[in-house]
Amino acid sequence: MVKILDFWAEWCGPCKFMEPIIEEIEKELGSKIQIEKINVDEKQDVAAKYQVMSIPTYIILKDDKEQERIIGATSKENFEKAIAKYE
């Protein structure tokens, strides 16, 4: 299964822009992917572990190994293309 780590913060404008896109993707691909939202203000240790320097950052994992990283806001189409490579 593909797992996506979604690093975000309450105060982050691009994160708010991406939120409905992520929710749509989760509804459409819900059985194929798992999305874990990680608030960087609350879980700084996890952000440090993955060396997240800016948000939003999306890390695509397959078999718990990092496959790809999307940094910043992107289109739904680009996000889906990235996920499709690992399904």
Catalytic residues: 12, 15
CB atoms within 10 A of CB 51: 9
Two tokens, residue 58:
């999306």
Contact by Cβ (8 Å): 61, 4:
yes
Q: Calculate the alpha carbon distances from 27 to 23, 24, 33 in Å.
A: 6, 5, 10
